[in-house]
A and B are shown apart, each in its own frame.
Chain A
Amino acid sequence: MKRFLEFIRKEFYHILRDKRTMLILLGIPIAQIILFGFAISTEVKDVRVAVFVPEMDNTVRRLVNDVDASEYFIVSSVETTYRDLDKVFDEGSADVALLFPSGFEASLLRGEQTIQIVVDAVEPNAALARSNYLSSVLSTSLMQLSPGAVQTGMPDVKIRMLYNPQMKSAFNFVPGVMGLILMLICAMMTSISIVREKETGTMEVLLVSPVNTFMMIIAKAIPYFILSVVNLITILVLSVTLLQVPVNGSLFLLFGISFLFIFVALSLGMLISCIATTQVAAMLLSGMVLMMPTMLLSGMIFSLDSIPAILQYISYILPARWYIEAVRRIMIEGGGFMSVADDFAVLAVMAVVLTGASAMLLKKRLE
């Protein structure tokens, strides 16, 4: 036991003395939360609208005012000809163009209304969201103007956004960032720290000593486990206070699934350290083989329902996919244990398999 504690202490020295790496490890979650929370956002907010209207009348003025007054849009220019339509997008002075036909008020009274929305669709998701928002703002506004005039023949559809009524992207990103950071620290850092001993030659001496190899690796994992828990708490505190992401479900359950996921990530790190012989190889293995799929296929960036079937199957073997899904259920939807039971089960199986595999691959000799 004393040997074990001494090992952990030594690992802590390594981490604490490498100030730069430690700063990165503790700073990454903060940077990620701020980045994903504020900078990278698919939310519709302050979208610039260029209005093209040949004849300005009261109805159009009311509509434009309503668009401008909504928190989503800013009217950046009002033109009286359609000539500059292309120019607006070329210069990038607006994101959306709103085109009214001439004599709009009169046609509205006749029961015909055509308004054209032109959107820059380079980013398809954003374009779709913007056009949807704009048409909904316009129809609400038209409804108030002349309830009788709006007879689209369509039933009145009311949409309710469950769990995320304001459609905040943070609700999607926070669970993703949690999965990513925990994977990064546990898998990558554990594998690097084990492989470093192989590279510097200290592993030779450790092997020619009575120390149990498995114990040694567990001792290496513990400091990173603690570091991950610190990061987990940082992320949660930041998202609740800064991004107003709620923790609707049980905090206990959230930590439970997080610990299980950390354990899985640590065993992955051990597995990598059994295979890799240099720190660079360990970094590439964990970076390319673990991080990239985790980012792309775990539902953090792309919705899993819209990716091809084969990629969906691949995503099943990614621990982060199950973790992120469970975190969403618990944090955002406020689900209880039963709602995440399958995620728990899958992660538990992964933990057993990975630990077993790395224990089997663990070498008691060189080469």
Chain B
Amino acid sequence: MDTIVTAEHIEKNYKGIRALKGVSFSVNRGEMFGIIGPDGAGKTTLFRILTTLVLPDSGHVKIDGYDTVHDYAAIRQFVGYMPGRFSLYQDLSVEENLHFYATLFGMSVKDNYATIKDIYSQIEPFRKRRAGALSGGMKQKLALSCSLIHKPRILFLDEPTTGVDPVSRKEFWDILSGLKKEGMTIIASTPIMDEALKFDRVAFIHDGEIKGIGKPADIIEQFKSILAPDKIDRPPVAVSPEKAITVKNLTKKFGNFTAVNSISFEVSKGEIFGFLGANGAGKTTAMRMLCGLSKPTSGSATVAGYDVIENPEMVKKRIGYMSQKFSLYNDLSVADNIRLFAGIYGVNDRLIASKTDEMLERIGLSDQKNTMVCDLPLGWKQRLAFSISIVHEPEIVFLDEPTGGVDPATRKQFWELIYDASERGITIFVTTHYMDEAEYCDRISMMVDGEIKALDTVPELKKKYNAADMDEVFRKLARGALRTE
């Protein structure tokens, strides 16, 4: 068979850490090849070596016959690359971005319009809009259009679907299979196992080593403990009659735009409440109102016994908040971060010391007390951030996409912490894009276009929408969405 990529014994060290240890594999022309593995396994380093961005310490990579070290200029002519972060110019409009990337490869948008037509036509109505103002799903489509505009022979995608909702994710993979049919070779990574199943072959990489290459289903089965961990057993909990959150006709308007349209629901004490919706459905706005950060236009909400309009300051004292974007100070040590946030919430000094040890014990970070947060793997950071968000023993904790970009095993560890907190009576209010995570929730609400379209337990929702899993429920509900943010 015709191989297009061969990697032989790649070694790479970073600051004394062996990021890649003797990685070898080959990819056939026209193949869709996946690179899967936990966060920090060396996937991004591997992508950078394949795309000539980083030199390997030893070993060779050949891309369509060209060596990545010596013939990098030739390789750069025919590969497309989409790094983990959206590589768009936020202050340029959609069409300006596309136009710029086309000229970069000495082409015009017209030359290869056919290649990107299917994808680009979905965002074309917004071509005058600045890239920075697009939703996650649209940014991702634009970034893909930009990396395809020169009709590359090979496409490299480093976790292209992180932070993107299930509907947009599905569309994205449909586009990729279309490209594969046209003969394009695609090498991509993903932390989501449903997506991994779409590859022809996957390489499982762990601690800088390739542990196995083969059919996705086989590899996932082989490394089940990491890639597809068993569900956490959780005894059914009695629903408390006490209400932690009561929301009535809550509405938020920005000018003519109604971001949140008269939503009403109740959350019981100790419940794990999943707050789902596509990018731009109004989740963040609703959550901000409940945290007392944004004043509702109309309606009412009581959180932890206080009215969010009358007493936002009291609400803030009784809740915890963790977001994917802001959580910890990277340049402070683990202990310093705990100390700082506990101090902010008024926990007294003696208590901080004992709580720090207890917390680190619980999340298995006792040895890392003086490690800088920036040196921790993402999954550890997330567990630490969650523990810190409940250090002052709040009644409710709000989690905004807390586990973005980590593998299923790491997510499972995170959810064990959530269950632990819930058992101690803390109410959990969580948003997520991962449907395996949604299944961990006691009840789910689905927001579409600013309204709550469905609210029930996971089994009930599946029954009601005649769906095999939550992914399908989500797609059926969100398909009717008009709003694209």
Contact = CB atoms under 8 A, between A and B. Distances in A.
A366 B52 CA distance: 9
B91 A14 contact: yes
B55 A204 contact: no
B456 interface: no
A364 B72 contact: yes
Given A201-B85, A204-B87, A208-B79, A3 B53 contact: no
Nearest to A201: B85
Interface centre among B73, B82, B91, B99 (most CB of A within 10 A): B91
Contacts of B48: 204, 366
Interface residues of B, number: 33
Nearest to A216: B104
Nearest to A4: B103
B329 interface: no
B53 A207 contact: yes
Given A365-B52, A365-B54, A366-B53, A210 B83 contact: no
Contact of A10 (B87, B88, B89, B90): B89
Contacts of A201: 83-87
A84 to B, nearest CB: 56
Interface string A199-223: 0111011111111000000000000
A240 B97 CA distance: 43
Contacts of B103: 2-3, 6-7
Interface in A1-24: 2-3, 6-7, 10, 13-14, 17-18
Contacts of B77: 210
B106 interface: yes
A261 B394 CA distance: 61
Nearest to A367: B54
Contacts of B72: 364-365
A202 B83 CA distance: 9
B92 A208 contact: no
Interface centre among A17, A209, A364, A367 (most CB of B within 10 A): A209
A210 B76 contact: yes
B99 A202 contact: no
B431 interface: no
A17 B105 contact: no
Interface centre among B86, B87, B146 (most CB of A within 10 A): B87
A27 to B, nearest CB: 20
B54 A3 contact: no
B76 A200 contact: no
Contacts of B99: 6
Contacts of B87: 200-202, 204-205
Contact of B96 (A10, A204, A207, A365): A10
Contact of A13 (B54, B73, B92, B106): B92
A202 B131 CA distance: 13
B104 A206 contact: yes
A14 B96 CA distance: 11
Contacts of A367: 54
A210 B152 CA distance: 12
Interface string A291-324: 0000000000000000000000000000000000
B88 A208 contact: no
A17 B90 CA distance: 11
Given A10-B92, A205-B83, 5 more contacts: A2-B103, A6-B104, A14-B89, A200-B89, A208-B53
12 contacts: A3-B103, A6-B99, A6-B100, A7-B103, A10-B92, A201-B85, A202-B89, A205-B146, A206-B104, A210-B73, A210-B104, A366-B53
